[in-house]
């Protein structure tokens, strides 16, 4: 027969379990999300609402949500620790051809020039106001990297919106995301 556990002991166990889950989840998640207000964009371009990046073993996957998926350029900067990163670019044209490409250098260390990256894919799900970018691992430092961090910028002529934002209102950067 089961012995009834005293109430206080149950509460202590619940607290220990909650603490374990809270400590364990960031390492297990291998992803980071940043959010940004709707309605803060400069001009009629892409107003970023949130962005999530997953650092999977074989690919880095970014999912960016907008207030509305309208014409504009989306740039996701990805930075490995201590090394040169890349910028994932999608020039979204809902009624024309959308151009997708990768450029060398993250926002933190910009380099000009397009990179060849076979397998770089961008999907716009306009009904859901979402863009999804997938960069194969081999296109970043030949796959030799661990944690990454990211930032999102949108442009239409000039800068439209960005996330995360620092306290001073400049473009910031996410926390480090361990590789899955």
Question: How many of the chain's residues bind Ca ion (CB under 5 A)?
Answer: 5
Is residue 54 within 8 Å of residue 180, measured between CB atoms? yes
CA distances, 57 to each of 24, 52, 120, 148 (Å):
19, 16, 15, 12
Q: Which is nearer to Ca ion, 79 or 161 (CB)?
A: 161
Residue whose Cβ sits closest to Ca ion: 36
Q: How far is the CB of 78 from Ca ion (least distance, A)?
A: 20
In the sheet where 48-55 sits, what is the strand order?
31-35, 48-55, 59-66, 130-136, 121-125
What distance in Å separates the CA atoms of residue 135 and residue 88, rounded to the nearest whole number? Answer: 8
Q: How far is the CB of 155 from Ca ion (least distance, A)?
A: 13
> Which of 139, 148, 136, 84 shows the shortest CA–CA distance to 112?
84
Query: Could you give the string, one character per residue 133-172, with x where binding to Ca ion holds by CB under 5 A and - elsewhere?
Result: ----------------------------x-----------
Both tokens of 46, joined, read 């892409």
Q: How far is the CB of 93 from Ca ion (least distance, A)?
A: 21
Q: How far is the CB of 126 from Ca ion (least distance, A)?
A: 18
Q: Which is nearer to Ca ion, 49 or 86 (CB)?
A: 49
> Which of 95, 99, 93, 44 shows the shortest CA–CA distance to 67?
44
Q: Which is nearer to Ca ion, 47 or 79 (CB)?
A: 47
Q: Which is nearer to Ca ion, 65 or 134 (CB)?
A: 65
Q: How far is the CB of 70 from Ca ion (least distance, A)?
A: 13
What residues from 1 to 40 belong to the interface with Ca ion (CB under 5 A)?
A: 36, 40
What residues from 43 to 62 belong to the interface with Ca ion (CB under 5 A)?
A: 47-48
Cis omega (within 30 of 0) for bond into 66:
no
27: part of which helix (H) or strand (E)? helix 7-29
Q: Which is nearer to Ca ion, 147 or 173 (CB)?
A: 173
Q: Which residues bind Ca ion (CB under 5 A)?
A: 36, 40, 47-48, 161
């Amino acid at each position: 027969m089961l012995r009834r556990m005293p109430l206080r002991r149950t509460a202590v166990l619940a607290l220990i379990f909650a603490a374990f889950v809270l400590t364990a989840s960031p390492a297990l998640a291998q992803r980071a999300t940043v959010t940004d207000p709707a309605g803060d964009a400069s001009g009629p371009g892409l107003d970023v609402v949130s962005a999530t990046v997953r650092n999977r073993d074989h690919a880095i996957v970014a999912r960016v949500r907008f207030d509305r998926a309208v014409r504009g350029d989306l740039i996701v900067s990805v930075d490995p620790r201590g090394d040169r990163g890349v910028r994932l670019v999608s020039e979204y044209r809902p009624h024309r051809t959308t151009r997708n490409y990768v450029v060398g250098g993250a926002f933190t260390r910009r380099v000009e020039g397009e990179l060849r990256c076979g397998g770089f894919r961008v999907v716009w799900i306009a009904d859901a106001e979402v863009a999804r970018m997938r960069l194969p691992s081999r296109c970043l430092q030949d796959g030799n990297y661990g944690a990454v961090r990211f930032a999102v910028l949108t442009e239409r002529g000039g800068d439209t919106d960005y996330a995360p934002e620092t306290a001073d209102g400049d473009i910031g950067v996410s926390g480090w995301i361990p590789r899955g």
